[in-house]
Amino acid sequence: MKGKDIALGTVTVIAGILIYLLIGEKNLNKLKDREIKYLKKKNKDLLLKSLNDKNQIPNEIKTQIAELIDNYDGVEENICNELIGVLALIEIGQEIKAIKDLTKIIENLLKEKYKEENEFKKKNFVPLARLIDYAKEKDFFNQKEYNTACILRDFRNEESHNLNVTDTRNMILASMLGGIELIFRIGKKIIA
């Protein structure tokens, strides 16, 4: 009987230690998650502060990107991270690359929306041009949204295939605003 009691006591102590370690690990993971969230917010705030010190980009663009980041934070982390990357690109003067990344976000939002449609269900790759046309055919995009998406697609394609892409300042700013606006509108339409 004494041997069984010792074995049972040992198993109980070991089980208690394991439970304690598991709870500790879970709490540590929660702390790490909070720290990651804090660091992401701090990174976003630092990027915005740095951008505010520069007068090249209108405050409206900076504010709208920050609002998009807040909208997608905790909901769609990949989009949130991509938007933070857009801010970083703008901060270092890579506006065309930022437009390319905004277009990538739009492309992924459209892929997500249409992934169950018969036309796209079994395809591994769907070109952005086809997604844009399909959104127009299904009246998801109005004419202005369609035109904006086509301009963004052209910027994305040019940036992907050519070196040192440039355009007029007005066209770059208009494209950035158009990309931001499309992300807002697609997000609202998908939720509705």
Tens-digit pLDDT profile for residues 19-77 = 888 888 888 888 888 887 887 777 777 777 776 666 667 888 888 988 998 888 878 88
Position 168 scores a pLDDT of 87
> Minimum mean pLDDT among 10-14, 56-60, 129-133, 148-152: which range?
56-60
Share of the chain above pLDDT 90, in %: 35
CA 4 to chain centre: 58
Tabulate helix, strand, coil % of the chain (nearest 5): 80, 0, 20
Position 8 scores a pLDDT of 78
Question: Is the four-CA dihedral 94, 97, 102, 108 of positive or negative sign?
Answer: negative
Query: Whole-prediction pTM value?
Result: 0.75
* Side-chain half-sphere exposure of 114, counting CA atoms within 13 A: 27
Position 54 scores a pLDDT of 66
Fold classification of 58-191 (topology level): Four Helix Bundle (Hemerythrin (Met), subunit A) (1.20.120)
DSSP state at residue 131: H
The answer for residues whose C-beta is within 8 angstroms of residue 151's C-beta and 6 or more apart is: 175, 178
Contact call for residues 139 and 156 (beta carbons, < 8 A)? no
The answer for residues whose C-beta is within 8 angstroms of residue 69's C-beta and 6 or more apart is: 44, 80, 83, 84, 87
pLDDT over 60 (residue 1): no
Give, in degrees to the nearest 5, the angle at Cα 75 between 46 and 155.
Answer: 65
Domain ranges within the chain, ordered by starting residue: 1-53, 58-191
- pLDDT tens digit string along 107-123? 999 999 998 888 888 88
Position 91 scores a pLDDT of 82
Q: Which residue, 94, 99, 123, is CA-closest to 111?
A: 123
Contact call for residues 149 and 125 (beta carbons, < 8 A)? no
